[in-house]
Amino acid sequence: MIKLGIAENKRYFVNEGVPFFYLADTVWSAFTNISLEEWADYLDYRSSQGFNVLQINLLRQWDASGSDLDYEPFVRIEDGSYDFYSLNPDYFDRAETMVEMAVSKGFVPALVLLWCNYIPDTWAAKLRDEKKMPLEAVEPYVRYAADRFSKYHPIYIVSGDTDFPSERANEYYRTTLHVVKKHSPECLTTLHIQGRLADLPDEFINDPNLDFYMYQSGHNSQFQSKAYTLALDFYNKRVTRPVLNSEPCYEMMGYSRREYGRFGRADVRKAAWQSLLSGAGAGVTYGAHGIWSWHKKGKRFGVTGEGFDSPYEWQAALKFEGAWDYGFAKWLFQMYGLVDLQPWNIVLKNTEEIRVASTRGFEKIAIYVPVNTVLKLDADLREYDFTIIDLEYRRFAAASVAFQDNVTVIDMHNFEGDVIVIGVKDKN
């Protein structure tokens, strides 16, 4: 069983002292929508791709696809709403079985305790008339969850997709964070926040109970640069913690706000690499449109919230090629020892799309180049051996490199898609 910790310098995860690259899939709707047979197949497939974390909503996901299953975390009362003081043990028995299955396959469960639709004043609360969880019900629910799941050493994601609109809303998250950390001090904690949001309230930045930062660059086609701008924002917070993009654009997700178009394999790969080399090098999360909502043919998929186009059926979404790209990214990080990366602003080009990072001692350099070009770098890197890696077909090639007045020039490569350029300093 994996027991995650934080490195001494607070920049990455460790497991038994060894660097751990966080590679998650978002399967928010698992506990309400997935049969145990489907779950077993899903776990086997994602395990084969190298995934090691699963982000799951502990309660019902508000925008999940319809399902014939009938599992609810709380007892329903006459008007159909939840009695938040009456937990349904059968629901949590089944959820615990699913967590146990995942842990046995080498996954770390990352469990969201309170998605924002359950909390008053949040952006999602304003879109739904459903009853919100009373503040007095939060502590007994969180204690129950901790008693149930902490033996599996999960990550506890305190919030789901939240803004921080009021002191009343913040009190829910403050209570949840402190209760779960008190009862499960060895489990890591974080906050999953609204897309494109860069700011956290000071109380959470300064709270020692918070272990790492999540941000989400999100699904709006106009703001995909947030993959790297938010990475830099969180990397440079005054309190240092590991950073990761917990929700980049999902593969084949329709653009938010009901805009026509979908994010393809290249888009999600680009979001991943731009995040990883811009300060969010602790790991990254993948999403497939049809997996997170666990969509089945003929079932409803609402447009509540950001309004996305219809999902693919989960069996098709599971096989999207982009998931293999994310597994390949993890493999490259491990093969080249790309641990504790720091952003490095050395690109002499009129774009921020090309991202560069180095290891702490500059022994290794990683450069993401989304579109082929002659690459000029404001550093003399003649001590490095460079390899160009084609990310679409996963091919490797030698780089053609020249040096001019302390500028390193890497010539155009022969690949047609995006590449990673890896530089390793010659130890001789």
C-beta atoms surrounding 105 within 10 Å: 15
Residue 303: its pLDDT value, please?
Answer: 54
Where helices occur in 263-419 by DSSP H, the ranges are: 265-276, 314-317, 322-336
3-state secondary structure string across 120-184: CCCCCHHHCCCCCCCHHHHHHHHHHHHHHHHHHCCEEEEEECECCCCHHHHHHHHHHHHHHHHHC
Question: What tokens appear for 308 in the block?
Answer: 């996305």
pLDDT at 304: 56
Helix %, strand %, coil % of the chain (to 5): 30, 25, 50
Tokens standing for residue 220:
């709006």
Residue 58: helix, strand or coil by DSSP? coil
CA-CA distance, 279 to 343, in Å (whole number)?
Answer: 6
Comparing CA positions, the residue from 44, 4, 18, 27 lying closest to residue 290 is 27
Its pTM stands at 0.97
- Specify the 3-state DSSP secondary structure of 104: helix
Six-digit token string for 99: 């967590």
Could you read off the pLDDT of 125-171 as tens digits, one per residue? 988 888 999 999 999 999 999 999 999 999 999 999 999 999 999 99
What the block records as the tokens of 78 is: 């006459």
Average pLDDT score over the chain: 96
Looking at beta carbons, which pairs linking 232-236 to residues 24 or more positions away fall under 8 Å? 232/278, 232/279, 232/343, 233/198, 234/198, 234/279, 234/280, 235/278, 235/279, 235/280, 235/343, 236/279
For 267-316, the pLDDT digits (tens) are 999 999 999 999 999 999 999 999 999 999 999 997 555 679 999 999 99
pLDDT digits (tens, 9 = 90+) for 163-213: 999 999 999 999 999 999 999 999 999 999 999 999 999 999 999 999 999
Tell me the DSSP string of 344-360.
---B-SS-SSSEEEE-T
Of residues 93, 14, 22, 29, the one with CA closest to residue 61: 29
**pLDDT tens-digit map of 54-93:** 999 999 999 999 999 999 999 999 999 999 999 999 999 9
What distance in Å separates the CA atoms of residue 423 and residue 341, rounded to the nearest whole number? 13
36: helix, coil or strand? helix
* Mean pLDDT on 204-228: 97
Angle, helix 226-235 to helix 265-276, in steps of 10 degrees: 20
User: Is residue 427 scored above 90 in pLDDT?
Assistant: no
Residues 6+ apart with CB under 8 A from 84: 74, 131, 133, 134, 137, 141
> pLDDT category, 6, cuts 50, 70, 90?
very high
Q: Which of 250, 212, 227, 266 is nearest to 25 (CA)?
A: 250
- The model's confidence at residue 25, banded by pLDDT at 50, 70 and 90, is very high
Each residue's pLDDT tens digit, 381-409:
999 999 999 999 999 999 999 999 999 99
User: Which domains occur in the chain, in start order?
Assistant: 4-336 (3.20.20.80), 344-425 (2.60.40)
